[in-house]
Chain A
Amino acid sequence: MKAMSTDAGYQAAPGLAPGVAVESEGLAVVARTQGQLIRRRFLRHRAALLGMITLSLVIILAYSSVGFGPVPGWWDKSYLHTAPVVDGGRPTLSVVPEFLGGSGVHLGEHPFGQDDVGKDYFAMVMRGTQQSLIVAFLIGFVVTVVGTLVGALAGFFRGRVEAALMRLTDVMIAIPTLIFAAIFAAVAGRTGNIVVLGVVLGLVTWTGLARLVRGEFLALREKEFVEAARAVGTGSWRIIYKHILPNSVSVIIVTATLAVAAGILLETALSFLRLGIQPPEISLGNLVSQYQTAMQTRPWLFWWPGLFIVAIALSVNFIGDGLRDAFDPRQTRVRA
């Protein structure tokens, strides 16, 4: 909490006026909007850019390959159909070109290998990635909506509203996230619907964002521009929506991004414990769980889903880091 208040202090500190870029010799002054500045700073953050590219590639690969819903994909095998096991189910993917002594760059019949009954593992991992991504983004969405709403109400109205909402937050924080999520994922998991699962997981993890937004609102509601708005007779909801919310959007976006990264780890962990997405349906977590004993004999069944989880979580974390730097460059030096 102390770190937060000092960060707010940093924002208020005088500096160069934003939107003005001074060229050398002071000859040309280029005016840029806040949005342009943020975009430029984000694009200069190499790790974040790389994360953005990786994440996009993973999303495109997952949804275009095996198709989604009624839309068919370009990959000809399904995650449901079994086929005779070829070569012990070994992966046929090859990335070493022939002139380097490899067998050439090609996907082969089963790029990620086959599982024990001969299902195509590439199709299974892609399906799992789709499911896990849906749940992760749903978590991010629900966390953003609920966390912002609770934080805004508590921070703006103070008094009884704040006391009630913050007590609720305290109670939820007293329960370890994984435990809380496990209990309610067990309720949602039995419905077998991943949308329900995503929403429920979002409903148990919004507390962090609510606290941050409340902090922002507490600081901003004392500012002169809010007082001015109130003086001309602006209503509470309009002040919240038009005056304060746009000023705390950076905190919300960054935290929501990190919530997506935490979300994919949470969902896969629960699915690993057989509490999230249940076996006939595929998730990256329950693939790892299913094949954790295959490490000795067919390690690829264990490696692929794990690699995809790490790739997604790492990219999203880097994107969050880049966004934070872009919104508030002063924080780059002092960042948690």
Chain B
Amino acid sequence: MTVFIIRRLVVSVITLLAATFLVYVGTAISGDPLQDLYGIADQNEAEQQQAERRRILQLDTPIPLRYLDWLGGLLRGDLGQNIRGQDVSALLGSAMAATLKMVVVATVLAIVLGITVGVISALRQYSGFDYSLTFAAFLFFSLPIFWVAVMLKQFAALEFNNWLREPTIPLPVILGVASVSALAWTATLGGDRQRRLTTLVLGFALTALLLLLLSTTRWFADPGLGPLAVVLLAAGAAVGVTFVVAGFRYRRPLLAALVAAATGCVFYLFSEPVLAAPSFWVMLLLAVVAVGVSAGIGAALGGLQRRQAVAASVLSGVATGSLIILDYFLRAYEGYARKVRDRPVSTVGSETPNFAGNFWEVGLDSFGHLLLPTMALLLVSFAVYTRYTRASMLEVMNQDYVRTARAKGLIESTVVTKHAFRNALIPVTTLMAFDFGAVIGGAVITETIFGWQGMGFMFITGLNEVDPAPVMAFFLVAGGSIVVFNMLVDIAYAYLDPRIRVS
């Protein structure tokens, strides 16, 4: 395994080096960097500025030598200067933070949502849900990301912000959403006719009731979960998590998950002094403590099913923690909305300029700015993950070992989660590296539309000005993360599937 990793590492570095050369030369020959100076009327002034730019960009040196010079600088940790003589390393820092936040959020969401929906789609093959999803996936593949982004700007931001001022949901919308959600639940849960009918009616009634409640209490103007909802949702999460990782055959894992959720809820009731205005490090510490305590609960209560119990209790603890965090974010919303004059969904930049607030408000600000670009980025990746997971899951469900698992009497949920799902994930891992590159490319477009001063912006301006240093800085981060991602995926693959290592 070590040999495999080292060999993979060396190949990755060489690949990245060759790619940087290609990008450098491509940028350098893409145009004339002196273009904008030809218009200067004063002969002396023009010559002076041209000479200055020749010096900064080293235009008198052949391109391969310039590349070597840039490479030498890179080894010393210096990314060179841009066309205006500014230090690129300094510019990269803030740009990178903004872009990576967007890219990582979009990738993670696409993976989680895409895999979940793909699995459901495969399990309910040829249902209405499956067909509508297939069509949606094809549509998402075919949508130009820039067109969607401009549309989101118009409808999701301007109209949605206007709606938030008077957040009541009209009755036809309630009925429409309730019908769609009822159909989705029915398709997801399946079962015989009687059960499907029950799900349909219950799903419709519950959704309609919930929306009506949210609308009449003007929940969207001043949202929050409150203790009751937190406790109920935490219990629900505990049960759901146990169902997925352990099943209900044994009592212990469920007990551990519930106790972990209950511990979280008890903490929640007394959390006000700690969580009113925490710092990032406090949150990190709390997260670590939460995982540790949950694992402890699982280990103590697990009995013979210790491994499943630990997994269930940790996941349930994490879910409860997320609910608590969500509640605090929602509570901070009203104050935040007032600060940004009731326009919480933003269309420009990655943060409100000169915004000051506590941890929750800064988080909301970040979220409001991330929402639209991430949605635009998400669509294509989501479609890819859904289709790929569906295909992989269908293939696995037809394998002999799944038939064996069924034949020896395991219940369907165990067959799906334990035997099929895990193996279906193996081919999906290879997709992640590919998709990450596509998302970074898409980020260039969304940043242009939403006016982010991120790495994509750096790349486009650099390319337009025939200025290699910022382009290379962008590519180092983009290409570097793709290569690293690729390598991690390969290693994970070799770990998951021992047949790979042999070759």
Task: Give chain A's interface residues, CB within 8 Å of chain B.
Answer: 1-3, 6, 47, 167, 170-180, 182-184, 186-187, 190, 261, 265, 268-269, 272-275, 285, 288-289, 292, 295-296, 302, 306, 309-310, 313-314, 317-318, 321, 333-336
Contacts and interface: CB of A to CB of B under 8 A. Distances in A.
Nearest to B471: A183
B31 interface: yes
A334 to B, nearest CB: 4
Contact of A187 (B26, B398, B449, B483): B26
B215 interface: no
B437 A309 contact: no
A183 B138 contact: no
Given A176-B437, A288-B144, A292-B150, A336 B387 contact: yes
A176 B141 contact: no
Contacts of A171: 15, 18-19, 22
B445 interface: yes
Nearest to A182: B463
Nearest to B145: A269
Contacts of A333: 125, 394, 398
Interface string B378-398: 000000000110011011001
A293 B125 CA distance: 42
Nearest to B153: A295
Interface in B118-154: 125, 138-139, 141-147, 150-151, 153-154
B146 to A, nearest CB: 5
Contacts of A309: 144, 147
Given A176-B441, A179-B459, A314-B142, 8 more contacts: A167-B15, A170-B11, A178-B445, A182-B459, A183-B27, A187-B29, A317-B142, A336-B388
Interface of B: 11, 15-16, 18-19, 22-23, 26-27, 29-31, 125, 138-139, 141-147, 150-151, 153-154, 387-388, 391-392, 394-395, 398, 426-427, 430, 434, 437-438, 440-442, 444-445, 448-449, 459-460, 463-464, 471, 474-475, 478-479, 482-483, 486, 497
Given A2-B426, A3-B395, A317 B138 contact: yes
Contact of A176 (B16, B22, B438, B448): B438
Contacts of A275: 463
Q: Which of A3, A176, A265, A335 has the most CB of B within 10 A?
A: A176
B445 A272 contact: yes
B501 to A, nearest CB: 14
Contact of A334 (B395, B459, B479, B486): B395
Contact of B444 (A2, A178, A296, A313): A178
28 contacts: A2-B430, A3-B395, A6-B395, A167-B18, A170-B11, A174-B15, A174-B16, A175-B23, A176-B437, A177-B438, A178-B438, A178-B442, A179-B23, A179-B478, A183-B463, A187-B30, A190-B31, A265-B144, A269-B445, A273-B444, A273-B448, A288-B144, A288-B150, A292-B150, A306-B144, A314-B139, A333-B125, A336-B387
B146 A289 contact: yes
A57 B151 CA distance: 26
Please give me the 9 A-B residue pairs with the lowest Cβ-Cβ distance, nearest first. Answer: A178-B441, A313-B142, A176-B441, A314-B142, A186-B30, A183-B26, A176-B437, A306-B147, A174-B19
B395 A313 contact: no
Nearest to B434: A173
B437 A177 contact: yes
A230 B482 CA distance: 42
